[in-house]
Structure 1
Amino acid sequence: MGYIMELRKLVGSRPLIMTRACVLLVDNKGELLLQKRKDNGCWGLPGGALEPGEQLEEAAARELFEETGYIARKLEFMHIFSGEKFYYKYPHGDEVYNVIAAYTCTKYEGLPRLDETEGEEIAFFGLNELPENINPTDIPVIEYFVEKNSKDPRLL
């Protein structure tokens, strides 16, 4: 059982500050990997909560592998996101204020493998062909990534 689940036993569903890491994995065609989440039916970035003693980059790599089967060979720190935009209430009622360390990854290996406990599907999308139903807290992260890389012809 993870750290957040242990905290939930003590505090119930009231808001927690949750430190998370996510990965914007981009293939050689410039497409972004997304996972369709089971809890809310939205597409989102691979990622999850930091465990005690874990470094953010370790959490990003671990979550990427657990949720998609891909092994990051190189992660590049992109940005830290926090604030009101990153408040989220899960469908089952738990509330969080996310602090998200976002990493980009273009060097990876492995074969796609869906974590069926958390996801329904994983797929690559062109940045101008993203699905409409994106997880709310991932929207500003993806928008930041697109803006930062808007001059890269592979991504447009």
Structure 2
Amino acid sequence: MINLTVNGRAVSMDADPDMPLLWAVREELQLTGSKFGCGAAQCGACTMHVAGAPVRACLTPISSVAGAQVTTIEGIATDPVGQVVQAAWVAQDVAQCGYCQSGQVMAAVALLKGNKKPTDAQIDEAMAGNICRCGTYARIRAAIHTAAAQLA
């Protein structure tokens, strides 16, 4: 049995210790907002927060997060920074196909929790591991600046 806290709720999972966190959350907990993209931790679609830090859940074994606080895209809906980032995403009309957006939002929330006024270069660095095949990078950067201004 692996015990952890997901979105503020204590959970116990009888899962293979090597099962990726992404699949444990999607299959066992039915939280499907985080997406499978590449399976190689290169695209960022699977990004979740573990103890507040963004991780690629597609390659993170569930056993490595035992006892940890895990936040998924569903969980940031109650987070003040998450709410501001999600509102900025809508205001800047960021999403096109939307597939990568849960990972993009999770990375942006982590950035803004650690840096309240990021520069373009800092945004680019923090978001570099998140691929958007639609190419909405300029709108993502604008949304992060919008959220940062609202959080200031």
- TM-score of the superposition, structure 2-length normalised? 0.29
Higher strand share: 1
Report which structure shows greater RCO (CA 8 Å, sep ≥6).
1
